[in-house]
Every structure is written in C-alpha cells, then in structure tokens.
Amino acid sequence: MFATFMVNTWLVATIVAVIAGLVGFFVVVRGASFAAHALPLGTFPGAAAASLLGVNPLAGLVVAAAAGVVGISWLGRRGRHEVATALCLVMLLGLGALFLSMTTEYSQAVYALLFGEVLGVSDSDLVSVAIISAACMLLIALLFRPLLLGSVSAELLEAQRVSSRHVEFAFLAILALATAMVLPVVGALLVFSLMVGPACAARSLSSRPGPAVFLSVVFSLLTVWAAIALSYVSDWPVGFFVGTIGALLYSLGWAWRRPRKQRPAVHAAVR
C-alpha cells in the first residue's frame, strides 16, 4: 500500500481531496450541486477528444470545463440557471458520444474517466495537478469573502459594489478547474459525491465558515485515503468507495443535525 509506485497516488489523492473539500463547501452553501454534477460529465468529451488527438487528457478536461463555464454563464444570463446548465451538459455529452464513435481504442480510458483510476500517476501528471490546485487555492483565497457573501444574498454583494455575475463566473471557473483535476482520480460519475458528501457533513456539524471549511477538507481527506486503502486491499474501484463513504458522511451529518433542529420546535411547543 505504501510501496514506491504508490507515492504519487497518495500525493495526488491528497491534493485532490483538499481542493474538493474547499470547493465543495462553496458548492453546498451556494446551492450549486447540479452544476457540480453537470460539469464533471460535461468535461468528459474533452478527455475523449484529447485521446483522439493524442494529447494529454488533462488538457482536454480543462478546455471542456472552460467551454462548459462559458456556456452556462452565457445562457444563464438569458434564462434560468439550471436550464442553462442542463443544455450545456446535453451538448457536451453529445460531443463526447461523437468523439467516442471515432475511435476503437478508448475503452480502458473511458472506464478510468467514468469511475476513476488513481494508480499509476506519473510525475508529469502530479506536477499538472499541483499547478491547477495552486491556482484553485489562490482564487479561493482572493474571492473567499465575495463567494461567501454571494451565497447569502446577491443584493448584499451588489451593495458592496461587486458584480454578482462576475463572482458567479469566477465560482464556476474554480469549480471547473477543480473538476478537471478531481475527475481522473474518482471519475466523472462520482466527483459529485466527493465534493458534496464531506461538505454537507461539515455544514451539519458547524454553521461557521472557518470550522466548516476545515471539517470539509478533513472529511474529504479521510474519504479519499480510506477509499485508496480499501481499493488496494479489495481490488475494487476507488470511485465505489468514494461514493459509498460520501453518502455515509452525508447520512451521519443529517442524523446529527436533525435532533438539533427539532429541539427549538419542541421548546417552543412546551412554552
């Protein structure tokens, strides 16, 4: 489990978990779960096109994620945000089907992108992930207050002379970068679980932004580390364990928070 060939696996998984925990907090507080689900699936055709052209799949993921962000932002100005997200998702998935039909040598790569393949991470891949994660962390640090304020009320954000549209675009850009980085590890179908499950559990335990972000990162790290260890022992996909642990964390957070929500109502009824 801790052999030499696994060193890059643990490193890239740790980086991915930290970014997923940070971005996942804002996904939860901003109610952007659908975008967090749609963007990973929308980046899939980028990897398919990159494989078809013989270039690094990560580059294709970033390009497709950027296209998804631009499409969602542009269409969202002219209609409902969730409708714009759905339209972009459908269009990108259609492109992915087209690219896949042009090659017969993509089956293993398709499986890896859908369900994750964290083993065999090269040094160049590790460097790329580290650069993208540093960009994500820098953007989050610079935009932490506007992102948090915008999740409460767009009017409050505009009152601070900050454009809510620009903040929304920046959030989608951060989400897209995080998606492109996380997808090769846990797969397009389960990026959603890593970003939402730990963050929801953290929000259930703390309503304060600082502790909630910290707990979200900790839960995300524990999820990925446990998933790698269990996958190594059982030879089952990492994505399966990530999805299962993410759902378990969400359930435990809900079970923890529910009695505390009921107590004020009970006290009010007694009075």
Q: Where are the alpha helices (DSSP H) in the chain?
A: 7-29, 33-53, 57-76, 81-101, 107-115, 123-152, 154-159, 164-186, 191-205, 209-234, 238-270
Going by C-alpha positions, the residue among 13, 230, 229, 264 that lies closest to residue 118 is 13
> Which range marks the domain in which residue 94 is found?
4-270
- Tell me the pTM: 0.78
What are the tens digits of pLDDT across the range 176-230? 888 777 776 666 666 777 888 899 889 888 888 889 999 999 999 999 889 888 8
Contact 103, 52 (CB under 8 A): yes
Q: What is the CATH number of the domain that holds 138?
A: 1.10.3470.10
Residues 232-260 as b/e (b if ≥16 CB within 10 A, e otherwise) read beeeebbbbbbbbbbeebbebbeeebeee
Q: Considering its fold, how many domains does the chain have in total?
A: 1
What are the tens digits of pLDDT across the range 228-271? 888 888 888 777 888 888 888 888 888 877 665 555 543 443 34
Q: CA-to-CA distance for 76 and 83, rounded, in angstroms? A: 8
